[in-house]
Amino acid sequence: MTEDVRLHHRSCPFCEAACGIRVQADHGNRTILDVRGDPEDPFSQGFICPKSYGLTQLHSDPDRLRRPVRRRGKDWEEIGWDEAMDEAADRLGALLKTHGPNSIAYYLGNPSGHKAPFLLYGPLLIRALQTNQFYTPGTLDQIPKYVSASYMFGGPTLQPLADLDRTNYLIVIGNNPVVSQGSMMVAPGMKRRLEDIRKRGGRVVVIDPRRTETAQIADEYVAVRPGTDAYLLFAMVDVLAREGLIDLGSVAAHVKNLDALVEAAGRYPAERVEQITSVPADTIRRIAREFATADGAAIYGRTGTCTQRFGTLTSWLIDALNTISGNMDREGGNLFSGGGIPMGTLWEDNCTPEGVFPIGRWRSRVKKLPEAIGMLPCAALADEMLVPGDGQVRGLVTQAGNVILSNPNAAKLQRAFDGLDFMLSLDIYVNETTRHADIIIPGPSYAEHSDFAAVTAYETIHKFIKWAPPIFPPEGDTPHDWQIFAGIAARLRGISTAEIEEEYVREMLATAIANGRPECRDVPIDDARAIIGEEPGQDRLFDILIRGGPMGDAFGRVPDGLTLDKVRSYPHGVDFGPLDAGMIPAVLKTPDARIDLAPPQLLDDLPRLEAFMAEMERPDTMLMIGRRDIRSKNAWMHNVELLVKGKNRCTLLVHPQDAERLGLETGDQARVTTHIGEVIAPVVVSDEIMPGVVSLPHGWGHTMRDTRQRVANRTIGVNANAIIDESDLDVPSATTVLNGVPVVVEAVRQPVLLTEPA
């Protein structure tokens, strides 16, 4: 390597896995030359997926904004950083003064979870806006897990993780971890880990409407109709109860309402649910027995189990089965996160001692949909902007999120955005969403800030933590992300950036002391403040998170514990091994410190489950599901040529039986219709999808030519969310039904491209 070409060790920022990467960078030209897996990363062990290679083009993308822009009619003009922050604060402040709190909505997009400065400093701006109108894509695909965990364990982040590297029986239901690398259960190199289960004599079973990439390497694939997982899981509970296989194991003294769970499950024996689930009763019984008698077992559900009509019930039943089979809080079963940071520092929203759960504490103005964990459901957003009256949303801030392509009922959202008085976007692209903004303020690129995978540090199946310095300093006078967020927030409040930063640091310290490892509890804030130093910015907050975490130094009380300086000495990250068992007494946040196996709030949803059986028994209903692609993540990676070139991946999968009935062949076009609208997509006939189900991925449909995404605009694809009704909900969580959507499919007689045009 020349003097200008240097090697850097980082984490990939494109998903929760945060795989370790080696980045070769030319410092003379400020370009990223090459990205490879880091074989010295002790957790990912050299594994990366194709997304990581996209960093070479993302950093140098000519469409990526380098400076703020302001709308001038149909055009954009570059403006200075201070001017952009001044005008944004002035216009947002004017809305607050005229229309009051909650007149501005805030949307925190998916990439924020993979850029720690966004994750840490976004709340500073949200609070300055005095708004409860807070939205995230988590309300599209995660909230059912947070709601069920809150009712069962007392807090949204108390998510049991499969002890993947020690389990002997794994059921994967409604997710595709070989592609995702373990969403909300981080385990890079998932294919190797699943193969290792089989090598040690274990068994992997995949239950899904599609024979996914994960199913293709499993011991057994079981096809299940979309949206019927709750019936299937209830039947498994019933098998365990009828056959005397219930074993609470080490958590027996910490559970309640087992009888109520068994009673509810008794309504759904295997024989009753086999028709609507498409899973034979004998198969249900056999898998239930295998699961209950294995020496260490886990059920892992994720996107497909969350984005359906009964997502909260399904999430509850997964954890209930993990508990009543003796697999909760045990090695080889399911363990609670003991990662590198105390999640309560980022998200302090557990059940109160009085029994008030972090759900439904306020509701949306128009549809009266419940808040969950501080977030209103995305299903409420368009109406909050469109419907006049007191409390109408007049302004919007988007933070790294393409709302138009990532949310259901895109046409309605477009109308809502068109009517806003002011919109600010904190983003690096003029995309389908930010094209509506009045001001767009980009931040530094991935290569220009220090790297700390905060989300990964609490979702990982190992106690792993990693930090990396920037590759390049920010270009020119580009401020750091924290300076942008703090700068706008300080202007709104009429104080200096230094003052608001000091307030925030002390608040983070107080929360870390209250929620961190027990040795933190009596540390005076002033003592902790003195320890972390005076250098402002995200690294100081990383230090707070690490020191307060399970392996931290408790602000000096545990001398051999971790600090940011110590983590810096591990350029490839440090892995302290698998999570620990025996955590239940310490982690439960329910008022009586017991796992509630039958929360009354969820039992209240059972009449809806019962009533829906008749509709699910109609064999003529076609159902649509989505699917993951290993080179894509929602809507935000489609302007990278390396990741979108080649064959069109936005295709409609149709089973051969359905294709014959509908007169479809691979390469034909099919019209997919709901009462919301229609899209026309190219067909791929494949037996990887079960009969009666079609699959169309979301995040595509880059057809708006007034964006600045030249590569994305050349891609072929349609917006699946355009035909999804945002009002069709999983009731307990108010999550829109994105999988198991009833559709009408018919042939359209004209050819369609299956490859990208030259």
**727-757 pLDDT, tens digit each:** 999 999 999 999 999 999 999 986 555 444 3
Q: What is the mean pLDDT of residues 362-378?
A: 97
In contact, 33 and 26? CB cutoff 8 Å: yes
For the cut 50, the answer to whether the pLDDT of residue 575 exceeds it is yes
Tokens read off for 404: 């138009």
What does the DSSP assignment read for 188-254?
A: SSHHHHHHHHHHTT-EEEEEESB--TTGGGSSEEEE--TT-HHHHHHHHHHHHHHTT----GGGGGG
Tokens read off for 428: 């690096």
Q: What is the mean pLDDT of residues 297-310?
A: 98
For the cut 90, the answer to whether the pLDDT of residue 616 exceeds it is no
In contact, 540 and 519? CB cutoff 8 Å: no
What does the DSSP assignment read for 96-130?
A: HHHH-TTSEEEEE-GGGGGSHHHHHHHHHHHHHTT
Q: Which among 406, 369, 234 has a CA at the least distance from the CA of 733?
A: 369
Q: What is the mean pLDDT of residues 47-62?
A: 95
Residue 291 to residues 202, 241, 330: CA-CA distances in angstroms?
A: 11, 13, 15
Q: Given 3-state DSSP classes, what are the helix, strand and coil percentages for the chain, each rounded to the nearest 5? A: 35, 20, 45
Q: What percent of the chain has pLDDT over 90?
A: 89
Give residue 758's pLDDT.
33
Distance CA 114, CA 117 (A): 9
For the cut 70, the answer to whether the pLDDT of residue 19 exceeds it is yes
What does the DSSP assignment read for 56-98?
A: HHHHH-TTS--S-EEEETTEEEE--HHHHHHHHHHHHHHHHHH
Return all residues near 51 (Cβ < 8 A) that are at least 6 apart: 12, 14, 15, 630, 631, 632, 633, 637, 643
Give residue 198's pLDDT.
97
Give residue 607's pLDDT.
98
First to last CA, the chain: 35
Distance CA 160, CA 163 (A): 9
Q: In what order do the strands lie in the sheet with 5-11?
A: 5-11, 20-26, 31-37
Residue 705 banded pLDDT, cuts 50, 70, 90:
confident
User: Token pair 């019962």 is at which residue?
Assistant: 610
Give residue 343's pLDDT.
62
Backbone angles phi, psi at 311, to 5 degrees: -65, -40
Q: What is the mean pLDDT of residues 646-652?
A: 94
Q: What is the mean pLDDT of residues 343-355?
A: 74
Over the chain, what is the mean pLDDT?
95
Dihedral angle over CA of 536, 542, 545, 549, nearest 10: -140
For the cut 70, the answer to whether the pLDDT of residue 344 exceeds it is no
In contact, 537 and 484? CB cutoff 8 Å: no
Q: Between 616 and 229, whose confidence is greater?
A: 229
Q: Count other C-beta atoms under 10 Å from residue 531's C-beta.
A: 16
Q: What is the mean pLDDT of residues 631-641?
A: 89
Q: What is the mean pLDDT of residues 420-435?
A: 98
Q: Count other C-beta atoms under 10 Å from residue 244's C-beta.
A: 8
The residue type at 91: R
Report the DSSP beta bridge partners of residue 465. Answer: 574
Q: Provide the H-helix boundaries in 635-719.
A: 641-644, 656-662
Distance CA 546, CA 537 (A): 15
In contact, 656 and 687? CB cutoff 8 Å: yes
Distance CA 444, CA 425 (A): 14
Q: What percent of the chain has pLDDT over 70?
A: 97
Q: What is the pLDDT of residues 240-299, one digit of tens each?
A: 999 999 999 999 999 999 999 999 999 999 999 999 999 999 999 999 999 999 999 999
Residue 228 banded pLDDT, cuts 50, 70, 90:
very high
Q: What is the pLDDT of residues 528-564, one digit of tens each?
A: 999 999 999 999 999 999 999 989 999 999 999 999 9
Distance CA 511, CA 306 (A): 30
For the cut 90, the answer to whether the pLDDT of residue 664 exceeds it is yes
Return all residues near 619 (Cβ < 8 A) that are at least 6 apart: 692
Instruction: Name the helix (H) or strand (E) containing 171.
Output: strand 169-173
Q: What is the mean pLDDT of residues 134-159?
A: 95
Distance CA 151, CA 315 (A): 11
Pairing of strands 669-673, 652-654: unpaired
Residue 280 to residues 170, 235, 274, 306, 618: CA-CA distances in angstroms?
A: 20, 11, 5, 23, 17
In contact, 424 and 437? CB cutoff 8 Å: yes
Half-sphere exposure of 210 (CA within 13 A, CB side): 26
Return all residues near 257 (Cβ < 8 A) that are at least 6 apart: 596, 597, 598, 599
Dihedral angle over CA of 117, 122, 125, 130, nearest 10: -160
Q: Which among 174, 266, 298 has a CA at the least distance from the CA of 224?
A: 174
In contact, 231 and 197? CB cutoff 8 Å: no
Distance CA 113, CA 119 (A): 6
Tokens read off for 270: 């295997």
Q: What is the mean pLDDT of residues 667-686?
A: 97
For the cut 50, the answer to whether the pLDDT of residue 317 exceeds it is yes
Distance CA 539, CA 337 (A): 23
What the chain holds in terms of domains, given with CATH numbers, is 160-335 (3.40.228.10), 618-748 (2.40.40.20)
Q: What is the mean pLDDT of residues 597-609?
A: 98
